[in-house]
Copies of this chain bind each other. A is one copy, B any other.
Amino acid sequence: MVVLGVDPGFGFSGYSIFNENRGIVILLECGLIRLKSSDSLATRIKIFYDHFLLLIERFSIEKINLETSFLYKNPQVFLKLGYLRGILYLIAAQKTIIIEEFTPKQIKLIITGSGSASKEQVARVLLKLFPRIQSFDKDDISDAVAIGLSGIWSKKN
């Protein structure tokens, strides 16, 4: 099973790619995509689409995992986050792969055993699990790793 975890955003999008085979979980790749604010909204959305389509084809991704978003601050920023999420749903349908979401609480519970764990605690657990990662440059990456690993460890599908 090859799973892609994504934490989408118009500034930075974090992503992780996991392979699971008979209980052995390997983190194949994790990283960041940066969208330039100097590009138009439409251009940034197309770059996001092209990038993830390529990634999904190259790694033969079988499942996409996302974190469910909740409205915290600006509704217009929240709406535009939906633009990027919609792109991932489109790709899932185009490539007939599964797409599923977890709430932040579910992810914390799956990774640390506690739904009320802090972001830092989640990151610490991930660094222990995957010692080849020295540190996470940005929260977007550790979030994406947590999301992808949740997709591997949960038995939803």
Contact = CB atoms under 8 A, between A and B. Distances in A.
A104 B34 CA distance: 32
A117 to B, nearest CB: 24
Nearest to A97: B42
A46 B93 contact: yes
Contacts of A90: 42, 45-46, 49, 87, 90
Interface residues of A, number: 27
Interface stretch (A11-19, A23-31, A68-76, A129-137): A68-76
Interface stretch (A77-85, A105-113, A139-147, A148-156): A77-85
A86 B82 contact: yes
Contacts of A94: 46
A67 to B, nearest CB: 12
A60 interface: no
Interface string A29-44: 0000000000011110
29 contacts: A40-B93, A41-B89, A42-B90, A42-B92, A42-B99, A43-B93, A45-B86, A45-B90, A45-B93, A46-B90, A46-B94, A49-B90, A69-B79, A70-B75, A71-B75, A71-B79, A75-B78, A78-B78, A78-B82, A79-B81, A81-B82, A82-B85, A82-B86, A83-B83, A83-B85, A83-B86, A85-B86, A86-B86, A87-B90
